[in-house]
Amino acid sequence: MDNLKFEVKDVNFENKVRESFSRQTVMQTIGACLRKVAPGKVEIELPFRSDLTQQNDYLHAGIITTIVDSACGYAAFSLMEVGADVLTIEFKINFLSPALGDIFLAKGLVSKPGKTISVCTGDVIAKIGDKEKLVATMLATIMTIRK
């Protein structure tokens, strides 16, 4: 999937994504960082924090969902023209194993770009040292908003 080519409609797409991400206070609250921005692809990293866990000390499903939803949304946003924005209108997430790790990496990828509706996939990988484990996968529908 890394060889997908997307039409870039805004030459400043990376700055636009990074500026928007910096205004997402939920990402600041949970300590997430934007790691990679490419046309149709975004990666968000979140270090493990015990205050974001559920009762069994795994990272909470809501936190996992939050980072991968944003990765998918920003992947779609990277392909939008100047002045357009995006909103998630639907997603399905599957949790594949307990979210146990030191670092969590959410990778969003546009599967089908569209003028009004885009479809994205997202994965969340837990890292412990050099070991990686897929903990969740998402299918998201993203709507373009024109102001």
Q: What is the pLDDT of residue 2?
A: 52
H or E, element range at 15 = helix 13-22
Do the Cβ atoms of 46 and 101 come closer than 8 Å?
no
H or E, element range at 82 = none
Provide the strand spans (E) within 84-130: 84-95, 103-112, 117-128
The full set of domains in the chain, from first to last, is: 13-146 (3.10.129.10)
- For 52-107, the pLDDT digits (tens) are 999 999 999 999 999 999 999 999 999 999 999 999 999 999 999 999 999 999 99
Percent of the chain with pLDDT over 90: 95
Percent of the chain with pLDDT over 70: 98
